[in-house]
Structure 1
Amino acid sequence: MTALPERFVQRIKQMIGEQEAAAFLASYTGSAAHGLRLNPAKVPLDEFIVKMPFSLTPVSWCPLGFYYHEKDRPGKHPYHAAGLYYIQEPSAMAVVEALKPEPGDIVLDLCAAPGGKSTHISSYLGNSGLLVANEIHPTRVKVLSENLERWGARNILVVNETPERMAERFRGFFDKIVVDAPCSGEGMFRKLPEACDDWSEEKIGHCAFMQADILESASIMLKPGGVMVYSTCTFSEEENEWQIERFLLSHPEFSLEPVAQGECFFERGKLANTYRLWPHKLSGEGHFLARLRKSASTGERSEKPGAGKVKPIPAATRKLFEAFCRETLTFIPEGQYALFGEQLYLLADGLPSLKGLKIARAGWHMGTVKKDRFEPSHALALALKPGEWKRNVNFSTDSDEVYRYLKGESLFVQKTGKGWDVVTVDGYPLGWGKLVQGQLKNHYPKGLRWV
């Protein structure tokens, strides 16, 4: 059993009573639930269920989510490297289901790393609308970018800013916002026992203060009539119901809305239309969520940051890129291109001015433009769909070659010609290789290679 802080145990007993606290504490003698969420842009649900070599059981509140057995290791399977699924704690899947993003929405994930909510939002947007994923910590924003890249997300803007700085630039801009707030992490004690050592009542107070500031910034960025979901992975009322009560008192233009899935699977919080996921009442860890609607009659106007001017890419750059596309792909991606140093991006539609923002990704990364050549990016390969490439080398999941490729080894293949090939596993893109006289030179990113 996880050794829980004594003061935490006392607080739980005060919150839910001795009898229910006994059942709650007993849940810590069991194992944490393990979950993954499929990527519908890469694999249909029926195909996914047939092909996955894991013991899968549906997650009741998420149509894309499944439990897997702890003996399975989906993170070490080539399908994970291909972005066919995202490994995510099952309770955390409830947040985006409560938000209900729709194609065409402009959505902000304000505290986005490592990317669970962002990839989930992307699944519902498809290649329409815009997802802005923000993360304040520079090291975590790199992981966020890599996860969105593997997911194959094209219409994205990944930003490394404070919520206050974001609010200055994006007033009334978003249709929907997720605030998965930094918290004291009590809900993760069973999954991450080391989180117990970092817990204290002082941390609860610090987190509550920070959450209030983040909510304030988020409220500024939401359009009149828009929806915001606030969530934490903690149990403390200070960070949950009390946080929402304080926010509503100072923001009468907001109101709480019911969550349909919550009626069936979640327990109501102590504040009406707030929801709690308890580890002793469902197969998942601790979570809290609230769906808030901003009145359409606030008197505010939706605003769009100035689009700004994007410098046209040089004719020589376009020529190199289009030559690559004609040789390797079945299409030339359409839209507005931008060159950041040597990096070529296809900008997402509806992208605001990027001036003055710390940007990690500004759309779909096409690749690197050298003096006399174009080198495709990993993001370009991972976002391709069957039929969009002319050249590929395919390996099966039970072959030695696919694992050697993921380790960064060059391979000899039975194929003639030369040039860039999409490397696939059972037809799903994994990355690039460059064929030279029967040798496939490995271009799987060094930082992602398996050891």
Structure 2
Amino acid sequence: MTAYVRRNIVLVFRGYVSVGNSFQEFVLKVEKQSESDGREDMLPELFKKRMQQMLGEGYISFLEGLGEQHCQALRLNVLKKGLDGSSAAEKYGAGRAGDAPEKHNAGNGEDMTVQCVEENADGADEKCSTARENSGTDFAHLTKVPWAENGYYYQPGDQPGKHPLHEAGVYYIQEPSAMAPAELLEVKPGERVLDLCAAPGGKSTQIAAKLRGQGVLVCNEIHPARAKILSENIERMGICNACVTNETPERLADFFPGYFDKVLVDAPCSGEGMFRKNEAACDEWSPENVKLCAQRQDGILDQAARMLRPGGKLVYSTCTFAPEEDEGSVARFLGRHREFTVLPIEKEQIGLTGCDGSAEYLGCGISGEAVSGDEIPDFHLEKTLRMWPQRIRGEGHFAALLQKDGDLFAETSSRNPKCLAKGVQGEQDKEMEDLFSFWKENIRFSICREKAGEGGIFSEIGRVVGMGEEVRHIRFGDNVYLVPTGMPSLGGLKVLRPGLHLGELKKNRFEPSHALALALPPEYAIHVWNLDSCDPLAAAWLKGQTFPAEGEKGWYLICVDGFSVGWGKLAGGIMKNHYPIGLRRKDFKEFWEQKSCMRMTPYWQYTSRQGFQRRLPVWDARM
């Protein structure tokens, strides 16, 4: 609270309490108004002028919404299977999380209660630890994001990004409003889907969850560094049927004309919707950037239209309030592509009542009208979606659902199997025999081992990881990938990940990939070593450390709370760590020093001087 606010409290307090309000309630109200005023001071003047023109009397509510704390959310991974065969979404989602509050509220700021949930023999939940004033993931305190399947808000004080289950791909941390566009696309298993501007991967992983391992997902990012992050997130979430490319929209359109059933364009934008979450975005804003983004969006949408088959659907989205980039981009696109129409969005059914777009905003652009007068027939822009921070628990977002004229089920030349890749088949040589040997020795089969030839092995791998038996394998040097049969030729494209990376063929052996570990359901692994997320050993493992172990030597699927997180190899009483060097987390030390998980059994503790030592449980007085 500022000094100015404190000086003025005394002047108005008597009048306020006369109507039955407490002093504390009054102070909270004044502080909230002070925060809104401070937020307004940071906003660019031209931005404020335009928002006043757009919203009129609603501008004050808009500022109050920007003054609220931004909401945080995660999306549980339906593809991730645990030791008991249930998915992460089934274990931690349905029936556990409460409904989101109807009133806009970023959270009450209470401390989190960290709970490590296990399943007992009867399937009931047992909480192995409870700790106050800690950072972690408490699935019992999640609240539902109304417009997103498996989307949940978490408490402001929580840090799920530093929990081992995050590294296992149990969930993806995603801004709640950003979950809406992929939901609007209504993806179904078996479809061919393109995420054209995909990094860092939130929407791509959301689409992959809808596909359930069936069909083809192409995730593209034009910037190489961001494409690498995208590829890592696809891997972490255990996605098998996704191809990650690093290309321009124009080049992709040359390779995939009329190929996709669904296309998502989450376009680069001026980022006005992130002003509350990221104050630096205010400093980077300029009218020139708004205009530049609008021009770039026009080009991206034109290429997306080329890649969508007749009857297909396209979702266009941004995280900005700028009419030039929202309704303006849609109107200009429809003016150039009369074969597209705007489809209605059932906003009331997903808790987004009153979040309509409007053609009236087109005249409120920073540099004048968002489109020229001859480009504004009745495009029904009220069917588009505007997510306002004062109306929902989320940041500013815009989305439009468009459909291309034509018959979705009519076959086109670009979808003819002749245009699809036959795959660079791996030779039946000694190296491939090493792969077969690994699979037979470490994975549970549902077919007779004697009949599991080359084709049978890869069909079995596809079945186990959820892709189905209609799969191909291709080789890039010594690396072997599994791809859907519908994956087209990728020759000439910059490809970071053509499908599921199975592993690398080395001299006299096959080394399984980290991607395979994350995609493999633990129930199919012959050797599994399960770590408790409350055990410091789990953090030590993710930092790259080994630990003493007894058992049959060979490859082990390492799990945390029943969910696979990587490979280990047991030899000489030591579980050797095969967690990728580039993914090892140095920040887990501080996180686990803060955690106070009460342990009911002895555990292994690591020190640089003594190595791993067996310790007895210690009662933490803070619990």
Task: Give the structure 2 partner of residue 47 of structure 1.
Answer: 91
In structure 1, the partner of 2:521 is: 385
User: In structure 2, how many angstroms separate the alpha carbons of the residues matched to 1:323 and 1:439?
Assistant: 23
Does the CA-based 8 Å contact 2:421-2:487 persist in structure 1? Answer: no
Q: Distance in 2 between matches of 1:297 and 1:129?
A: 19
Distance in 1, matches of 2:332 and 2:555, equals 57
Structure 1 residue 38 corresponds to structure 2 residue 123: no
Q: Secondary structure at the match of 1:387?
A: helix
SS of equivalent to 2:146? coil
Aligned equivalent of 1:443: 578
| Secondary structure of the structure 2 residue equivalent to 1:336 | strand
Uncovered stretches (5+) of structure 2, i.e. residues with no partner: 1-37, 81-86, 97-116, 118-136, 359-380, 446-456, 460-470, 587-623
| Contact 2:273 2:320 (8 Å CA) reproduced | yes
Secondary structure at 1:360's aligned position in 2?
Answer: strand
Q: Aligned to 2:78, what secondary structure does the other structure show?
A: coil
For the 8 Å contact 2:78–2:90, the answer to whether it is kept is: no
Does the 8 Å contact 2:244/2:495 carry over to 1? yes
Kindly indicate whether the alpha-carbon contact (under 8 Å) linking 2:502 and 2:512 is maintained by their aligned counterparts in 1: yes
Among 472, 479, 499, the residue aligned to 1:336: 472
Matched, 1:265 2:352: yes
2:179 to 81, 93, 98: 93
Max Rg structure: 2
**Structure 1 residue 137, shift from structure 2 partner:** 0.6
Q: What secondary structure sits across from 1:195 in the alignment?
A: helix
| Distance in 1 separating the partners of 2:431 and 2:55 | 63
Query: Whole-Å Cα distance in 2 between the matches of residues 236 and 14 of structure 1?
Result: 12
Distance in 2 between residues matched to 1:187 and 1:144, nearest whole Å: 22
Matching residue's letter, 1:23? S
Preserved CA contact (<8 Å) 2:88 2:170: no
Deviation at 1:311, TM superposition (A): 3.0
Paired position in structure 2 for 1:216 = 302
Which residue identity does 2:513 align to in structure 1? Answer: S
Q: Residue 219 of structure 2: SS of its match in structure 1?
A: strand
Q: Distance in 2 between matches of 1:262 and 1:177?
A: 24
SS at match of 1:239: coil
Confirm whether residue 153 of structure 1 aligns to residue 203 of structure 2.
no
Superposed displacement of residue 309, structure 1: 4.2
Query: Retained in 2: the 8 A contact 1:417–1:437?
Result: no
The alignment status of 1:303 with 2:414, answered yes or no, reads: yes
Secondary structure, counterpart of 1:323 in structure 2: helix
Give the stretch that moved more between structures: 324-333 or 132-141: 324-333
**SS of residue in 1 equivalent to 2:488:** coil
1:273-321 CA-partner distances (Å, limit 9, x unpaired): 1110000111000000000000116999451382244332122222010
- Is 1:373 equivalent to 2:513 in the alignment? no
Q: Determine the structure 2 residue equivalent to 1:280.
A: 390
The answer to whether the Cα contact below 8 Å between 1:346 and 1:364 also exists between their aligned partners in 2 is yes
Matches within 5 A, 1:353-372: 353-372=489-508
In the alignment, is residue 11 of structure 1 matched against residue 50 of structure 2? yes
Contact 1:320–1:373 under 8 Å retained in 2: yes
Q: Which amino acid aligns with 1:53?
A: D
Report the secondary structure of 1:272's partner residue. Answer: helix
Following superposition, the deviation at residue 107 of structure 1 comes to: 0.3
Corresponding letter in the other structure for 1:325: W
Calculate percent identity across the aligned residue pairs: 48
| 1:321 matched residue in structure 2 | 435
In 2, distance between residues paired with 1:317 and 1:290?
Answer: 50
Tell me how many residue pairs correspond in the alignment.
449
Deviations 1:34-90 (A, max 9, x none): 010011122254421454624210001112100001111110111111111100000
1:197 has 2:292 as partner = no
Task: Read off the aligned partner of 2:70 and give its amino acid letter.
Answer: A
Q: Which position in structure 2 is the counterpart of 1:186?
A: 272
**Is the alpha carbon distance of 1:272 and 1:29 closer, same or farther for their aligned partners in structure 2, counting shifts above 3 Å?**
closer
Worse overlay, 2-11 or 256-265: 256-265
For the residue of structure 1 that corresponds to 2:522, the secondary structure is coil
Which amino acid letter does the alignment assign opposite residue 268 of structure 1? D
Residue 345 of structure 1 corresponds to which residue in structure 2?
481
Partner AA of 1:329 in structure 2: I
- Structure 1 unmatched ranges of 5 or more: none
Per the alignment, do residues 300 and 325 of structure 1 end up closer, same or farther by CA in structure 2, a change over 3 Å counting?
closer
SS of the residue corresponding to residue 415 of structure 2 reads coil
Question: TM-score by structure 2 length?
Answer: 0.70
Aligned to 1:226: 312
- Answer with 369-378 or 97-106: which moved more: 369-378
From 249, 257, 268, give the equivalent of 1:171.
Answer: 257
Instruction: Please state how far the C-alpha of 1:448 moved relative to its aligned partner.
Output: 0.9
Q: Distance in 2 between matches of 1:297 and 1:321?
A: 44
Corresponding residue number in structure 2 for 1:403: 539
Distance 1:242 1:196, change over 3 A: same
What is the deviation of 1:147?
Answer: 0.5
2: distance between equivalents of 1:308 and 1:103? 21
TM-score, normalised with respect to structure 1:
0.96
Q: Pick closer, same or farther for the CA change 1:151–1:450 going to 2, 3 Å.
A: same
